[in-house]
Structure 1
Amino acid sequence: MTDLRIRNAAPEEAEAVLAFWKEAAEGTSITDDVDGVTRLISRDPEALLLAEADGVLVGSVIAGYDGWRCSLYRLAVLPSHRRRGISTALLDAAEKRFAAVGGRRGDAMVLEANEQAQRAWTSAGYVREDHWRRWVKRFT
């Protein structure tokens, strides 16, 4: 896409990002609310990357870095804009961010049932590690 622009999200865009995820992303998270998104952006202003085409939000990825690990979440592209290189552009931007801060490996969270996402991550060069499992505990 020649008119694609990758940029960082602003706190005032939290509601628009949430609406975008409802349309373009699989699954939901306990932090899928305005407070969660604005807290992410406030803590790490470069973490939430957005893709725009002709002023329309068409893609996102969270590229979080905590000083230790590079974590990727919420890679999503509008269904009407898939297979146009948007996820590739988002991941390229995320990986450049990680390289600039000295990151050594990107870890992606991918839903087990989301086969389309698994194919996208595989085509981007990411490999599933079956010997790890995610352990969670809700605090609220």
Structure 2
Amino acid sequence: MIRTFAPGDLPEVLDVWRAGGRDPLPAAELDAVAANAPDLLLVADEPGAGVVGVVVGTTDARRGWIHRLAVLPAHRRRGLAGALVAELERRFAARGLTRVNLLVLPGDEDAQRFWARRGYASCPDVLRTRDLA
């Protein structure tokens, strides 16, 4: 079942990210998403297993952004990642957003294929970033 994140899900969400080899989203960032757009923080919850997948969505004035999609390794290839993305896209569309962006590491071939199958095109934009603190 895909549902909105609840505060009690946090330990399991952190476990999902760690199991996928990713650093957890910093607590302050997760709190900001949960406070500003709680409906865009979704989990896949399976009976008897608990939270097995997570995706974080944010928005700017024009676009939705997908961050931190992860599913526990033992629960992959069952359609959960696609279901999380589809529900997040539905929620973006309900807000009137018409474009969704995300970042994928260039060497992550599995992720590249996953997003391409869902119609996400590569773009030649160059990301630049700067820490302010």
TM-score after normalising by structure 2: 0.89
Counterpart for residue 28 of structure 1: 23
TM-score after normalising by structure 1: 0.85
1:81 partner letter? H
Can you give the 5+ residue segments of structure 2 that lack an aligned partner in the other structure? Answer: none
The Cα RMSD (Å) is 1.7
Asked if residue 40 in structure 1 is aligned to residue 33 in structure 2, the reply is yes
Counterpart for residue 43 of structure 2: 50
- Contact persistence 1:11–1:37 (CA under 8 A): no
Q: 1:60 deviation in Å?
A: 1.3
| Paired residues for 1:86-101 under 5 Å | 86-101=80-95
Percent identity of paired positions between Structure 1 and Structure 2: 34
4+ residue runs over 4 A deviation: none
Distance, in Å, in 2 between the alignment partners of 1:97 and 1:132 is 26
Q: 1:97 deviation in Å?
A: 0.5
Asked if residue 73 in structure 1 is aligned to residue 72 in structure 2, the reply is no
Distance, in Å, in 1 between the alignment partners of 2:82 and 2:71 is 10
Counterpart for residue 10 of structure 1: 6
Q: Deviations over 1:54-85 (max 9, x none)?
A: 15211111121233211111111111111111
Q: Deviations over 1:14-71 (max 9, x none)?
A: 33322220112x5437xx2222212221121112111111152111111212332111
Asked if residue 102 in structure 1 is aligned to residue 92 in structure 2, the reply is no
Distance, in Å, in 1 between the alignment partners of 2:105 and 2:84 is 19
Q: Which moved more, 1:117-126 or 1:54-63?
A: 54-63
Distance 1:121 1:110, change over 3 A: same
2:31 partner letter? T
Can you give the 5+ residue segments of structure 1 that lack an aligned partner in the other structure? Answer: none
